[in-house]
Amino acid sequence: MILSLNYHNVRSKRPLILGVCFVLLLASALLALLTGAYPISLSEVVNVILSKFGLSLIEVPDEKMAVLWTIRLPRVLLAILVGGALAVAGASLQGLFRNPLVEPAIIGVSSGSALFAVIMIVFSGTIGWQLQSIMGVFALPFAAFIGGLLNTFLAYRLASKGGKTDISILILAGVAINALSAALIGLVIYYGDDNAIRNFTFWSLGSLGGASWTKLYIAGTLVLLSSVIIMSFPRSLNALAIGESEAFHMGVNVQKVKYVVLFFSALAVGAGVSVTGAIGFVGLVVPHLVRMVLGSDHHTLLPVSFLTGGILLLISDVLSRIIVAPAELSIGIITAILGAPFFIYILMNFKQKRITV
């Protein structure tokens, strides 16, 4: 068992901890830029990035430029943003529900987003068209967000009673909601033609293969914005972690914080899912690891979770690209292999002694 440091100790070391995480994130990003079907060396990576700022040292062939700039770089940035957002959404939902087992994929946020994204794509000629004409490129992430929000509130309503959520009911509600969403995704895909819609595997296990600058600007902005907004409520989440009435007496606007966290978690996850499909376990594993090492002060927990989530998804993406190269594994397979045993481990601990968030 790793000893948690106390609040004060961690707070004073926060710049150092964030610095270390940031360096690790950059190292992972570099590793991800160097890996792939097309061999690219470190000096070429550096040169391509420099040349975009007009400082090229050596001539890099156009092909390498294209692969790095139009395929790998957006993919790496998407991995960082989506991984970070999943981890922050997981951490804040765990704080909100005062429950360490809550995770966007487990309670059905991700599958709800995937379902609405699929509906939007398949029926883009009918329902979707009106939304598209109003919202343009934001229609798809918006639809995914609505789906995620719907499932979040459904899970929350089913499991909450008098400001307390029953964990076993919440997990079971998640099971039921996920099963229903998956079934409906399958049903909707049947009506779509193969070209318009990505396959069922994509929506249920995710992939970062479709990353492009356009998608990054659209979904990435929403994902980053939502994560930053959630990260700006550490004090309230600290208070909420003690209890809702306690938080209320400490002067926290409990209802507001609750809705902001639910709303922006759904937006972060939904916008991410609309581009990458549903990726599980990141939001469960990352906040847990961070809490084990650094304790549960949200001032540290949220930003460190964001950086660690980015690292985890980058490493998972690298693995998904090299294990069955030149083909690719769904990234959700990797995150599940890493995350599911961890989930079981938490459950075993949960039986022995009530872990508090």
Partner 1 sequence: MKRFIALFLISALLLSCGSKSSESTQQEEVYSSKKIITAGGTITEIVFALGHGDEIIATDRTSTYPASMQSLPSIGYRNQIQAEGILSLGPDMILVEEGYLNDDVLLQLQNSGKEVHVFEKPLDKSSSISLIESVGQLFKEEGNSKKLVDDLEQDFSRLEALKTNDKRSPEVIFIMSRGPETVFLAGRETFADAIIQLAGGKKSPVDFEGIKPLTPEALAAINPEYILLFESGWKASGGKDGLKAIQGITETEAWKKDQLIAMDGHYLSGFGPRLGKAAIELFEKTHP
Interacting residue ranges for partner 1, rule: CB under 8 A: 36-39, 62-63, 65-67, 70-72, 190, 193-195, 198-199, 209-214, 217-218, 221-222, 224-225, 228-229, 232, 326-328
- Select 192 or 243, whichever has its Cβ closest to partner 1: 192
Contact 104, 93 (CB under 8 A): yes
- What is the Cα–Cα distance from 9 to 275, expressed in whole angstroms? 39
The alpha carbon dihedral of 12, 13, 18, 19 has a sign of positive
- Select 146 or 208, whichever has its Cβ closest to partner 1: 208
Contact 231, 85 (CB under 8 A): no
In the complex, the smallest distance separating the C-beta of residue 72 from partner 1, rounded to whole angstroms, is 8
- What is the Cα–Cα distance from 167 to 186, expressed in whole angstroms? 28
Amino acid at 275: V
Phi, psi torsion values for 160, nearest 5 degrees: -100, 145
- What is the Cα–Cα distance from 147 to 153, expressed in whole angstroms? 10
Name beta bridge partners: 160. 165
- What is the Cα–Cα distance from 143 to 217, expressed in whole angstroms? 17
Q: Name the 3-class secondary structure at 164.
A: strand
- What is the Cα–Cα distance from 142 to 129, expressed in whole angstroms? 13
The terminus-to-terminus CA distance of the chain in angstroms comes to 16
In the complex, the smallest distance separating the C-beta of residue 74 from partner 1, rounded to whole angstroms, is 9
Element containing residue 165 per DSSP (H, E):
strand 164-165
In the complex, the smallest distance separating the C-beta of residue 342 from partner 1, rounded to whole angstroms, is 30
- What is the Cα–Cα distance from 49 to 45, expressed in whole angstroms? 6
C-alpha angle 304-10-287 in degrees, rounded to nearest 5: 35
In the complex, the smallest distance separating the C-beta of residue 199 from partner 1, rounded to whole angstroms, is 7
Q: Closest Cα to residue 294, out of 91, 145, 129?
A: 91
- How far are the Cα atoms of 37, 69, 216, 221, 276 from residue 212, in angstroms, in the given order? 18, 10, 6, 13, 11
In 162-249, which ranges are continuous DSSP H helix?
Answer: 167-191, 200-205, 213-215, 221-231, 234-242, 244-249
- Select 157 or 256, whichever has its Cβ closest to partner 1: 256
